[in-house]
Amino acid sequence: MPVPPKQDKLRTELRLKENEISRFIERINTLDKDNVALRKELELMDSLRQRMAVLTDKLNQLNFLSHEINTFDLDALARVVVEKIPLLVSARYVSLFLYDYKNDELALKKHNHQSDISTKIVLRHHQNSLMGLVLRDKKPVLVRNIDDFERQLGEKLDRTFAFKYATKSCLCVPLMAGNIICGVLNLADKTDGTFFNEMDDLPVIEQLSHLIGAALQNSFLFNEIQQQARMDGLTKLANYKTFYEFLKAEVHRSTRYHHNLCLIMMDVDGFKQVNDQHGHPAGDSLLRQVAQLIASYVRQEDLAARYGGDEFVVILPETPLSGGLIVANRIIEKLRKHRFTYEGATLDIRVSMGIADLQEGMVVTDLVKKADGAMYQAKAKGKNRLEAAT
């Protein structure tokens, strides 16, 4: 039975409408997918924008810190490292160790831990520690989880103090100046309980580590030069310039606050004969031995110095004459009992010593003259003895 033309037309129109609806739905689905993708891209861009803002802030802080780190003052440098660097990576704990090449040891300079930590680490006993690993490879070690790190490493690490930390994440970085290791910086426990990561934390700390390493090396060199300028090259005691500056300051302080002050001067008897019989290297060796004995008998607040030639001086702040005589007698007795040798030969020497205390109205030259006069009085009375200025 033939379909009426009107009904056939309606069917055709219906199919066209269905096709349009299908295309419309397909377009909506496509737009919806595009919208989802766009939202993800926007979220990613927002996340990157936030990261960039954080990174920019860290770079600004880094620039500011670089000026504070650039100092010869080792204590000031350590203070900046411990107080300000943890803020950059939200680290709870930080410790700064300095490396001693001679003894292959790490010495703690400063930390912010709530309890005590090791002040010295002998690396031959702790080669499998994180710091030992960092020093061996001269590369930073970022640990998200120490257990996973050990499994990847294939060995157990020295974790003596692991119980002191709230998390198992840490960052250990060598402080390098060129190819020279100056120390190690340790950061542990993120304040939010998460782990240190390669994107937010490592680049900033790595950049800082180079600045700190260079500053440490400069500080070491500066202090070494300062020390050399104050020290007698042969005996390693203070030199004449340092002696005079120290004595001048102590005389001023003692005069102002009415404190006691003593000065010991001594001369090596028979030094010329040692040089004549055994040569100048023997004389140099003798002076070094005398200096070591004198240095072993003075307090940290005292100053032992080489006055010149074979003469030595000891400044005793906060010491009355009676106390100075006790120290002087101990030194001279120690020198009498010591057997001075050079290449197996015994060096026959003694020491003449004079002591004076600061009296009212005295200036530096007066005190030196009194002690020097007492020393020459000891020589005049037969040498190898102590005389006090009258």
Active site members:
310
One-letter amino acid identity for 10?
L
- Dist. CA 14–CA 172, nearest whole Å: 73
Say how far apart CA 217 and CA 219 lie, in whole Å. Answer: 5
Return the closest-CA partner of residue 140 out of 184, 188, 172: 172
Compute how many other C-beta atoms are within 10 angstroms of the C-beta atom of residue 324.
22
Query: Residue 248: how many CA atoms within 13 Å on its side-chain side?
Result: 6
As a whole number of angstroms, the distance between CA 274 and CA 61 comes to: 63
Q: Is residue 326 within 8 Å of 387, Cβ to Cβ?
A: no
- Confirm if 351 and 385 have CB atoms less than 8 A apart: no
Nearest-5° angle of CA 290, CA 291, CA 295? 120
Q: Exposed, middle or buried: residue 140 (CB in 10 Å: 0-12, 13-18, 19+)? A: middle
Give residues with Cβ within 8 angstroms of 366, minimum separation 6: 359
CA distance 122 to 103: 8
Query: Which amino acid makes up residue 359?
Result: Q
> Any alpha helices (H) in the chain, and if so which ranges?
5-69, 74-89, 130-137, 146-153, 202-230, 240-257, 271-278, 280-295, 321-337, 364-380
Mutual orientation of helices 240-257 and 364-380 as an angle, nearest 10°?
110
Token pair, residue 87, equals 């803020």
Q: Do 147 and 168 contact (CB within 8 A), yes or no?
A: yes
Distance (Å, rounded) from C-alpha 384 to C-alpha 295? Answer: 19
Rounded CA gap, 151 and 156, in Å? Answer: 8
CA–CA distance, 242 with 137 (Å, rounded to integer): 42
